[in-house]
Chain A
Amino acid sequence: MTNSINEIENAEVILVSGSNTTEAHPQVARRMLDAVDRGARLIVIDPRRTRLAECSHLHLALRPGTDIPLLNAMMRVLLDEGLADELFIEMRTENFLALRDMLNRLDLEETAALTGVPLPLISQAAQLYGRARKAVICYCLGVTQHVCGTENVQTIANLAMLAGHIEKEDTGVDPLRGQNNVQGACDMGALPNMLPSYQAVANQDYRDKFERAWGASLPEAPGKTLVEMTHGGKQGPIRGMYIMGENPMLSDPTLSKVEETLRGLDFLAVSDIFLTETAQLAQVVFPAACFAEKSGSFTNSERRVQMVRQAVAPPGECRTDSEIIMELSSRLGYAMEYDSSAEVMEEIALLSPIYGGMHHDRLDQSWGLQWPCWDRSHPGTPFLHKYYFTRGRGHFMPASHTPPGELPDAEYPLLLMTGRIYHHYHTGTMTRKSERLNRECNHAVLQINPEDAKAHGLRQGESVQLASRRGQITLAASITDQVEPGMVYTTFHFHEAPINRLTNDAFDTGSGCPEYKVCAVRVEKMSS
């Protein structure tokens, strides 16, 4: 996020795209609704009529995968209405002409038709956004989990820069991060092409710096992404894996391929707190301490690095992942000796400029610090891009419509979208163990429009079979007009109904992000 979560409540216009915020980021939704109560306008771009959409002023129910045309149409309206922020474009951006030319060539009617959203609604949204003094765009995986995810994100940036809605307090572009420390894991260089703090592996200078600090020579070539590793197949290039606290056997697309790959490995070790679907395939399973049993830090969606404090001792023989890694590393000939997580953080501060001023004593005495925090005296950065973009001038990257990797056809006539629900988190490894959360929600449901349900003769709650070209699962029908005819929606939390057996492993070449938001399926009534 370029802003802090609390800034959202001061915005005049909030544009939410591809985010089921009330369920996936309740605290962010709280700020949005507070803002609405103070008079802000809320625009929701989502194919589904989510709870937030019901609370919004404008709901643009676009066809899945048509984000780019929709945003392009909005930008064209901004141009036509003279709402482009010319001063900002002049002073702070580059490549505007390419964008303008592309927009001017657009046939607005045609573009709107492509998205399924009436043009007047698009125009109204564009004008609300364009005329606001303070406007934020929040987006989430509904934008990125497409084959054109990177272009979707760039187009959002185009829109924000065109309107000049960036670089100010209460104004900006805010990607909401799905998991509690996905931001931190990226910051720490748990990426195949980046060393900590986004210092490219391919860059000799950065490698030199880390080689000196770590006293080891580092591989030059960027590594493989998660999907490349987990979808290599039985004879894939990966022979052994070490998996810490992740469950690709439920979270990754086309699970049959993941299972084939993991079973085909020479060796798999997994460290986790429960025996996950992935751990069940391992040769060695390490019992890890959970968050309440160790100390360290997490980085939230607004880049706030905050302390995780140990409350209790780990059960049984559990050890922290740090201890396990250090033991393994020493056995493999590279000794690691840290007495505490604070000592690890000191090394992070040494090597990662954006974490330069982050030390446990500072984090412990505050509500955390938002990066970049360059040194011990730096107060942290509540909003990014003040006075300059990280890369210099903001670069407009015009993009045009890229259809999803797989669309409904005669054989698989429905479009499946996947996402999260409120009561469960990710693969349910923890939340499914909670008595209360299970009481509130203990099985996967398939949201289906009453029209489609009628066509298939389905009753509320009835078990249905859902099939794609890659697999099939059984789950309960939830008949609701939250989804449009022709679309169905479900979640990936439930091992009893692993939806990622069905999802497509087409992915965005820019980010490696799988296209979870669109694939073709069919629904079959169970013969009872």
Chain B
Amino acid sequence: MPHASSMADSHLLKKDHLKGFLRKLAKEYRLVAPVRNRHGDVLFTVIDDLDAVEIELSEPPQNSLKQFFLPQQEQLSTYTITPEGYDFQPTKATIPPTVYFGVHPCDLSAVLYMDVVFSRQQRDPFYLRRRQGSVLIGINCNNPSPKCFCNATGSGPFIEMGSDLQLTDLGDRFLVETGRTSGHTLTERWQGFFSPSTDKDRAARYQAFLEARGRFSRQVHVEQAIRRLEADTVPDEVFAKLSLRCQDCGGCAYLCPTCTCFTISDQPLDAVNGQRLRSWDACTFAGFTVMAGGHNPVQAKTGAIRQRFTHKLRDDVRLTGRPSCVGCGRCVGICFGGTDIVRFVERTCQGSL
């Protein structure tokens, strides 16, 4: 894992000047960052007034960037039914260029995964339109939360790729590494905010990484579960027990930054007008696979639960070389019946360690 930075270039940004830098960015981009709202929750939020919000970088936000690149519900097209025909019009929605600031490594990894999903087979115009106008500014995780296990999925706590600028908190300053060209453009355009980094700063970054790595409170044996799934040695009983507890909420898939399954449906607006919507879906729902006429090729809940974990930990490893679980911990502890991926990994590895 990360040692000396493989990112091309690094600078320093004093924390005192962060707001000033963001204010410059907000002039040209829509700015999205994790904000602790007045109720105490941390959400990625569109920031209209920098002075009115509290940007929170220490607690992972409850929503991920998925909501911005693949919204919970979005219009694909509208249609009209006339005597002459049944006509579809492309959606008129426009997406402003956006800076996503304060993205944790798990969520950056998730965006990289989504990039593959939405351009591998076919280029998905709706995802890519949102993605192409985006600038990602990441922040490495100095304090993984008790639920986090990105160390086991190879997606944190520090990350070397995926962002345009990657920040590391060094106390009174950020070490800023530039990744893609757009990152260089930003640091050059507003070079007044940045000063050169030294070997000492880079050593401090390495020290921060070592400390962060030591702060994980749990060891989740994801690799082992992947091997067992690939070897098909996970007992059916594991899936059966977990599926008895699944209460069909869909929450694990909806909160997951890499669960990209969606459905498409028509919503009538009146007798002759309507819109075609794409919305989040979850493979754990019975209706996910049911065909017209009622036949369901995934006959039991067990099959759906197997699909969920097999997809994340086996099929996506085959596809991208790594699991699509990024260890963000969002699904951990939120399950109505205790059927989260960590429990799956634990049960799968029981007696084999």
Contacts and interface: CB of A to CB of B under 8 A. Distances in A.
A–B direct touch in complex (beta carbons closer than 8 A): yes
Interface of A: 22, 26-27, 29-30, 33-34, 37, 51, 54-55, 365, 367, 422, 435-436, 439-440, 461
Given A439-B287, A440-B285, A29 B265 contact: no
Interface string B35-56: 0001100000000000000000
Contacts of A27: 336
Contact of B286 (A34, A435, A440, A461): A440
A30 B336 contact: yes
A37 B338 contact: yes
Contacts of A30: 247, 335-337
Given A54-B244, A440-B285, A461-B294, A26 B338 contact: no
B247 A55 contact: no
B336 A422 contact: no
B279 A55 contact: no
B104 to A, nearest CB: 26
Contacts of A435: 265, 267, 279
B3 interface: no
Contacts, number: 47
Given A26-B336, A37-B338, A54-B244, 6 more contacts: A26-B249, A30-B337, A435-B265, A436-B281, A439-B290, A440-B287
A54 B250 CA distance: 21
B240 to A, nearest CB: 12
Given A435-B267, A440-B286, A33 B338 contact: yes
Contacts of B285: 436, 439-440
A26 B294 contact: no
B218 interface: no
A439 B290 CA distance: 9
Top-5 shortest CB links A-B? A439-B287, A30-B336, A440-B287, A435-B265, A33-B337
| Interface class of chain B by DSSP | loop
Given A436-B279, A439-B287, A34 B338 contact: yes
A436 B338 CA distance: 24
Contacts of B249: 26
A47 B203 CA distance: 67
Contacts of B281: 436
B223 interface: no
**Which of A27, A30, A54, A365 has the largest number of chain B CB atoms within 10 A?**
A30
A51 to B, nearest CB: 8
B245 interface: yes
Interface string B243-279: 0110111000000000000010101000000000001
Contacts of A439: 263, 285, 287, 290
Contact of A55 (B38, B244, B294): B244
A26 B265 CA distance: 27
Nearest to A22: B247
Contact of A422 (B38, B248, B279): B248
Contacts of B335: 30
A33 B245 contact: yes
6 contacts: A51-B244, A55-B245, A435-B267, A436-B281, A439-B263, A440-B286
A26 B38 CA distance: 27
Given A435-B265, A436-B279, A440-B286, A29 B338 contact: no
A367 B338 CA distance: 25
B346 to A, nearest CB: 12
A440 B337 CA distance: 19
Contacts of A51: 244, 247
